[in-house]
Every structure is written in structure tokens, then in C-alpha cells.
Amino acid sequence: MKQSLLKKSIHVQADEKILAVVRKHWFILITRLLNVVLIGTLPFILVAIIGSFISAPAAEVMFLTSAWLLIVWMSLFTVWTNHYLDIWIVTDKRIVNIDQIRLFKRNVSTLRIERVQDIKVETYGFFATLFGFGNLQVQTAGPEAGFYLIKNIYNPGTIRDKILERVDEVTEHRDNLEFNVEKRPTQGV
């Protein structure tokens, strides 16, 4: 069920096979959600401290509290949606990066697997090392060589190995086709 929805959303070709579907690590989601919750509770803490010095009508307090909780709820929903919709799909032919920036802004980019030159894995910090997440930086070939960065994914070394294994298969297959000794014309016999 999940694979068929994924294939429909990124237009996977009939002979294309999905090797890996990668999202950001759960630790990143938890830290962002906790940030929203901490910021969301800050006004209630301030009201508890300052509330005894200021008197306000109950209706206004209830309205402001409800409005603030609605904003916090929408922020939590936005963080979760952005986390869930940020996805990288590695197929046997390409890498698709779906980067959800905001609720209604998304960037989708594709990198052909044969353009991959090198992959660098970066793990920074105590929690990244402890929980096994990091960044994957893919260097591309071609006239406009660039870098393709996948941030905060779980076990980036495994994803790197899958991509490089597929790159090796593609380049080995291409080399066999281009330089097949049996198909070359014989030279001046």
C-alpha cells in the first residue's frame, strides 16, 4: 500500500525499483516538537508569576489562552507535517529529494544515479553519534557539478553503501557495454 502511493507520487517508471525511503531521524522531530511545547508553555509560566499583580476579565484571559493554544497546536502540526513530508527516495536509477519547506512550499529535485561521483557521511555531536544519525553529502558529476545534501537521516552509512553499490552496478554495466572486447572490430589482421 505504502509503496504504491509512493510510486504514484513520484512517478516511478515501470522498470524502476525503490531501494530505500529515508526520512529525518525521530530525534530531530522530538527536539523540534519540544521546542514548540516549551515556547508554548512560556506565556502560562509568565502569567502564573505576573498574574497576581495584574487583574484581567476572565473572558479576555480565556480568549487569549484559547488563541495561544491554537497557535501552539498549529505549530506542532506544521512541525510534524514538515518532518513527515521531507523524504528522500533512492531508486535503482535516481535519487529523489522531496524537501517540504513550509505547509504549501515544496522543492522536488532528482539526481540520476550515474551522475554520482562521491558520497560523504557527516556525523556531528554527541546525540548524532549516540542515536546514529547524520548528513549525507552526494557530489555530482557533469558540467555543473554540485553537492546534494541529505540532512539528519538515520544510519547514513547504510544509505551511502546502497547508493554506491548501485552506482558501481550502473558504471560496471555501462563499461561492459562500451568496452566489450568481443564486440570491438579486430584491428588489421
What one-letter code names the amino acid at 119? I
Rounded Cα gap, residues 46 and 92, in angstroms: 54
Strand locations in 2-79, DSSP E? Answer: 18-22
Q: Are 32 and 163 in contact (CB under 8 A)?
A: no
- Between 59 and 78, the higher pLDDT residue: 78
Structural domains of the chain, count: 2
pLDDT at 10 over 50: yes
Q: Which domain holds residue 70?
A: 30-81
Domain of residue 151, CATH code: 2.30.29.30
pTM over 0.85: no
Condensed to tens digits (0 to 9), the pLDDT of residues 62-90 reads 888 889 999 999 999 999 998 998 888 88
Condensed to tens digits (0 to 9), the pLDDT of residues 157-175 reads 889 888 888 888 887 766 5
Mean pLDDT, to the nearest integer, of 134-159?
A: 82
Shared-domain flag, residues 173 and 104: yes
Per the domain annotation, does 183 fall within a domain?
Answer: no
The C-alpha cell 555530482 sits at 140
Shared-domain flag, residues 40 and 114: no
Per the domain annotation, does 189 fall within a domain?
Answer: no
Residue 189: what pLDDT?
Answer: 46
- Cell readout for 146 is 554540485
Rounded Cα gap, residues 124 and 16, in angstroms: 34
Shared-domain flag, residues 51 and 139: no
Shared-domain flag, residues 109 and 171: yes
- Between 127 and 59, the higher pLDDT residue: 127
Q: Tell me what the pLDDT averaged over the chain comes to.
A: 81
Residues 6+ apart with CB under 8 A from 18: 3, 6, 7, 12, 89, 90, 91
Shared-domain flag, residues 104 and 164: yes
Instruction: Name the residue among 88, 101, 92, 83 with its Cα closest to residue 150.
Output: 88
Residue 77: what pLDDT?
Answer: 93
Backbone angles phi, psi at 126, to 5 degrees: -65, -50
| Residue 49, CA distances (Å) to 43, 55, 156 in order | 10, 13, 46
Per the domain annotation, does 184 fall within a domain?
Answer: no
Shared-domain flag, residues 146 and 95: yes
Per the domain annotation, does 61 fall within a domain?
Answer: yes
Shared-domain flag, residues 119 and 62: no
